[in-house]
């Protein structure tokens, strides 16, 4: 029997727990509406998307499809190339483009995309046979939507252009050969 001298504390009324949302219980217009999710998955397949991330006020849904790739390091070295047979190697280039005591190589200072001209309709910055100075812009390397002018940093005559327009370049990839004897 309870002690009549003890005070009883009145507890606030408890709220009934809300059951997990079923297909029919999603509020209309919610990002969790099952028909909306199905339509998003169909659109992902139709447009070959691997991920969709939607936010609507305080609601968010993220849908991913396809295999999960292991995370890669930002500067992970590329896998080594398989060894080539010795007889398949092309003969070394002869003439002014060959490496010699007066040939300096202009290398890419960053990873990005090589462009030989300021825009697709413009003339190239330099051509084989052009003379360059230390401040002459020889190309652009685009990295993360930033177009970086690459100066020659040497004086001489361009004897070889080693990259194609729009080619992906790595750090220290040779871009040009310059004869510094003239």
Tens of pLDDT along the chain (182 residues) come to 556 555 555 555 655 555 555 544 555 666 678 888 888 888 888 888 888 777 777 777 888 876 655 555 555 556 666 665 554 443 444 444 557 788 999 999 999 999 999 998 999 999 999 999 999 999 999 998 899 999 999 999 999 999 999 999 999 999 999 999 86
Question: Nearest-CA neighbor of 103 among 143, 48, 25, 160?
Answer: 160
pLDDT at 113: 95
The last residue of one of the domains, among 41, 64, 87, is 64
In a domain, 92, yes or no: no
Decide: 103 and 178 in contact? Cβ < 8 Å.
Answer: yes
In a domain, 83, yes or no: no
pLDDT at 50: 80
Report the C-alpha gap between 128 and 92 in whole angstroms.
19
Q: Which residues contact 147 (CB under 8 A, 6 or more apart)?
A: 115, 140, 141
In a domain, 88, yes or no: no
In a domain, 8, yes or no: no
Range of the domain at 122: 98-179
Q: How many CB atoms lie within 10 A of CB 114?
A: 21
- Whole-structure pTM value: 0.47
Decide: 128 and 177 in contact? Cβ < 8 Å.
Answer: no
In the block, residue with structure tokens 């997990």: 20
In a domain, 157, yes or no: yes
In a domain, 70, yes or no: no
In the block, residue with structure tokens 């001489």: 156
**Tokens for 32?**
């969790």
pLDDT at 155: 94
């Amino acid at each position: 029997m309870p002690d009549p001298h003890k005070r009883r504390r009145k507890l606030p009324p408890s709220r009934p727990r809300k059951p997990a949302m079923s297909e029919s219980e999603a509020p209309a217009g919610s990002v969790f509406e099952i028909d909306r999710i199905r339509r998003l998955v169909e659109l992902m397949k139709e447009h070959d998307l691997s991920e969709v991330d939607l936010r609507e006020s305080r609601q968010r849904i993220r849908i991913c499809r396809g295999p999960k790739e292991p995370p890669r390091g930002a500067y992970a070295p590329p896998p080594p190339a398989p060894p080539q047979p010795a007889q398949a190697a092309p003969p070394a280039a002869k003439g002014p483009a060959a490496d010699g005591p007066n040939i300096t190589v202009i290398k890419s200072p960053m990873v990005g995309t090589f462009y030989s001209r300021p825009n697709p309709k413009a003339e190239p910055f330099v051509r084989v046979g052009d003379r360059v100075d230390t401040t002459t812009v020889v190309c652009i390397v685009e990295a993360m939507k930033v177009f970086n002018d690459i100066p020659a940093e040497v004086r001489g005559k361009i004897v070889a252009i080693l990259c194609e327009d729009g080619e992906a370049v790595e750090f220290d990839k040779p871009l040009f050969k310059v004869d510094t004897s003239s």
